[in-house]
Structure 1
Amino acid sequence: MPVFEILPLHSVGPARLGATRVEVRQAMDASGFPLQTAHGNCDYFSNAAMQIEYGADDKALFIGVSGGAAFRVVFKGVDVFNLPANEVFALMADADGSGPHDFNSDEYCFPNQILTLWDADEQYDRDGDETRPIWAQVGIGSGAYLAAIVAIDTKA
């Protein structure tokens, strides 16, 4: 089973921030994960386990990944979809270095890494009989992505 490493500000597995839509599709296809569907500025790969969002320049500005059976996703050597949400949060908070960080089970963005967490819930615990809250999606973004979500937060 392939292992996709989360490298903040750079890539998740073969998908790289800043790559064009064509480059991302080629890299994913070469890794055995062809495009499943596209909708607007987003591409979805491998039964929607990976979502890539593109900016106006058609370059990847956000990569979101969910747990699934097709590949493992690791951060700092740890499988992020086989670890309780609070432990993944602590691991990423420690790596971010911008603390302090307060756990939020709905969503969170670590600003130094532009590393995002979304929707911690027991329903995503596929290896522990749905007893532990696991993140639905872990993602990375570019500086443009961070600016966009900060702008949205300030309008709310």
Structure 2
Amino acid sequence: MKAFDILPTVGVGPIRFGMTRADVRELIGPHDGDGDEEREWYLEDLAIDFDAAGKVAFIEIAESENFRALLDGECLHELDADSAVAHVEKLAPFDPDAPEPGYTYVFPKLQLSLWRSVVPDASQDLDDPTGRTFEAVGVGPDGYFPNTGG
């Protein structure tokens, strides 16, 4: 299985912010099916957003059977949510005032986010994995995620 390093403010694996669609396709192959003007999917679980000039502007990574995305040696999709947040916090703090607390953690210094659609609560069965890990890791260039904290 391929491993892609998450390089905060730079890109993911061989993909760099500012690359063209042609650059991306040359490096990792054609996009999966229908894309739109702004977002294309690659390797089934790698979403790349393009700006109006057709350059890579944001990368979102879902858990994948085709690749692992590593930040400082750890695959954030394989860690429980608390451990994933703690791992990223070794590099930079998250913004406690970012929208959707508990669902989304934004690390402005790294221009990185962690997202899950469900936050488990005390009534959830311990065997139910829903919400216990993050579904998406987002990576942007400098300035993508503003720091909303005071």
What is the rounded CA distance, in whole Å, between the counterparts of 1:51 and 1:132 in structure 2?
21
Q: Which amino acid aligns with 2:64?
A: G
> Is the Cα–Cα contact under 8 Å of residues 121 and 135 in structure 1 kept in the other structure?
no
SS of residue matched to 2:134: strand
Residue 63 (structure 1) aligns with = 59
> Is the Cα–Cα contact under 8 Å of residues 102 and 119 in structure 2 kept in the other structure?
no
What is the rounded CA distance, in whole Å, between the counterparts of 2:94 and 2:119 in structure 1?
26
> Is the Cα–Cα contact under 8 Å of residues 107 and 116 in structure 1 kept in the other structure?
yes
What is the rounded CA distance, in whole Å, between the counterparts of 1:43 and 1:146 in structure 2?
21
Give the gaps of 5 or more residues in structure 1: none
Q: 2:42 aligns with which of 45, 60, 77?
A: 45
Could you say if the C-alpha distance between residues 122 and 79 of structure 1 is closer, same or farther in structure 2, counting changes exceeding 3 Å? Answer: farther
Residue 5 (structure 1) aligns with = 5
Deviation per CA, 1:19-77, whole angstroms, max 9, x where unpaired? 11211121111xxxx31031121111122x01001112211110010101111111110
Residue 86 (structure 1) aligns with = 82
Q: Which is helix-richer, 1 or 2?
A: 1
Which of the pair has the greater relative contact order for Cα pairs under 8 Å at 6+ separation?
Answer: 2
Identity percentage of aligned residues:
28
SS of residue matched to 1:145: coil
Task: Provide TM-score, normalisation by structure 2.
Answer: 0.79
The question of 1:28 aligning with 2:28 is answered: yes
Could you say if the C-alpha distance between residues 100 and 39 of structure 1 is closer, same or farther in structure 2, counting changes exceeding 3 Å? Answer: closer
Aligned-pair CA distance for 1:100: 6.4
Aligned residues: CA RMSD: 2.6
The question of 1:106 aligning with 2:103 is answered: yes
Give the gaps of 5 or more residues in structure 2: 121-126
Residue 117 (structure 1) aligns with = 114
